[in-house]
Amino acid sequence: MANHTPCGIELPQVFFDGPADMEHIRKFATRAETLGFDSLWLQERVIGDFTMLEPVTLLSYVAAITTKLKLGTSVILLPLRNPVQLAKAYSTLDVMSGGRAIIGVGLGGGHLGSHEEVFGYTREGRVTRFTEAVQIMKLLWTEPKASFHGRYWNFDDVSMEPKPIQRPHLPLWFGGHHENALKRAVKYGNGWMGAGSSSANAFVRESAQIRQFLNDAKRDPATFSYGKRVYMTVDNDKARGEKRIREWFAKRYKNAELGARVSIWGNAAEVTEKIQEIVKAGAQFIVFNPMFDEAEHLEICAKEIMPHL
């Protein structure tokens, strides 16, 4: 598996049928490391009617039981977060993990809404809040004393320690589909992750736009990475695979049709072929996102799909 495309996998985080199974998470994380995955990834959903663990807390736990895997979020719902506290949490995670943290940020609001009002914010000005938050975190991670003057935050000579281990700061990835979101990724970020809830065709289109924006910004394309989260199920019975995907999306996103539209399913060869198409379209990085039978999928992804990417 020498030169395959780096592959991460979604860590179990969502539990529809009962409490969070920490033993399952522990076994999954340690096994992923021995199987040669590059990274483990989580998403963020703060409020909702099913069990979904908070990502930074869960990654802090995983940092203690692994040694090599990078630990990523795709994405943190940045407009719902205080950037000073979030910068502290991530620099702490980076220090605790020995420099393995990756932060992915997004506006949120996609298929389930983002509920700013519950957090004491308004939707108005959310993009400004988002870009200010990105700038503030980068300043706090890199400057001995940071100063910032914006619409939502104003401060002078603020120190925050510890700094992240990774320099100049931990990798900052962006989500998003809108042209403006892709431009923000190029302006402020180290990479962009195509959402799991978007199709392979959308990835092709959006990654082409990013290449154009990198060109417009006269930015070296080698300084920027593209990834794609892939909701996938390996099942030799295609009809059963699709049925289970629809059921999962109905619970997770309240939208069964979305599952059938954006997921990849079939036998291992069919799934591999579809993911190869995403790699050919420019994905330098794949995050497998099995929705169920996670331990089985962990083995299949490592042994039957990864070697062919």
**Rg for the chain, CA atoms, rounded:** 19
Q: Return d(Cα 30, Cα 64) in angstroms, integer.
A: 10
**Model pLDDT, residue 115:** 84
What band does 110 get if pLDDT is binned at 50, 70 and 90? low
Look at residue 108 in the predicted model and tell me its pLDDT: 83
Q: For residue 206, how many other CB atoms are within 10 A of its CB?
A: 22
* Total domains, the chain: 1
How much is the pLDDT for 199? 84
Greatest C-alpha distance within the chain? 61
pTM for this structure?
0.95
Q: What is the pLDDT of residues 35-86, one digit of tens each?
A: 999 999 999 999 999 999 999 999 999 999 999 999 999 999 999 999 999 9
Domain assignment present for residue 281? The answer is yes
Check residue 111 and give its pLDDT.
58
CATH number (domain holding residue 156):
3.20.20.30
Does residue 1 form part of some domain?
no
138 falls within a domain: yes
Residue 88 in tokens: 């502290």
- At 4 the pLDDT is 83
Q: Which domain holds residue 169?
A: 7-308
Lowest mean pLDDT among 110-124, 131-145, 216-230: 110-124
pLDDT at 96 over 90: yes
User: What's the first-to-final CA gap in the chain, in angstroms?
Assistant: 9
